[in-house]
Amino acid sequence: MPYDLKEVAAISGMPGLYRLLKPTRAGVIIEALDGKGTRSVASARNKVSLLHEISIYTQDYDQTVPLTEVFDRIHQKHGAELSLTHKSDDRDLTSFMADIMPDYDRDRVYMSDIKKLVQWYNTVSKRLEYQAPAEEDESAAAGKEQAAPEEVATADEALSTAGIIPATEETNAAGSPEAATEAKPAKKAPKKKAE
């Protein structure tokens, strides 16, 4: 993977990109991907969008290109220093996007998406190290494919709880007051006699 985007996220209501460090009861501890690297807590109410889960629409309606692959294409053509910014002219941004992804869906990928892509790439290329894709033999690639879903599950699991600790078997035990109240059958109301 050229840029490791598994822990990098965009957070609603907060400008820039952030590295997710550790879940807490109230949300997740984050570190800004800027020169300062300030740490704070993103509330569980904020929408956290992991960059490795974001894809770009293509003209084939059922197919998308992962952002990691798009970043790799940009790095192959332009390197870590991109001459464009999110404030560049719209025509320059559109031609840049067509150069990187000729088959991107022009109806579903808006100018704001292209600007965000350029801004994110500039931030990521300055703060993260580019790792050239290693050539692997087929057996190593097959072993890696089996390991990948487990890694994704643990990453998704940490974020899906949004800082809330999941119930364990101990809390569902018979000694638990919550479990005891759920286990009792509801009492039926006495029938009224017809007069």
Domains of the chain: 8-51 (2.30.30), 55-127 (no CATH)
Residue 137 CB contacts under 8 Å (≥ 6 apart), including other chains: none
Q: Give me the sheet containing 27-32, strands edge to edge.
A: 39-43, 27-32, 14-23, 8-11, 48-50
Residue 127 CB contacts under 8 Å (≥ 6 apart), including other chains: 17, 33, 34
Confidence band (pLDDT; 50, 70, 90) for 102?
A: very high
pLDDT tens per residue, range 143-187: 444 444 444 444 444 443 344 444 444 444 454 444 444 445 555
Tell me the one-letter amino acid at 91: R
Tell me the one-letter amino acid at 34: D
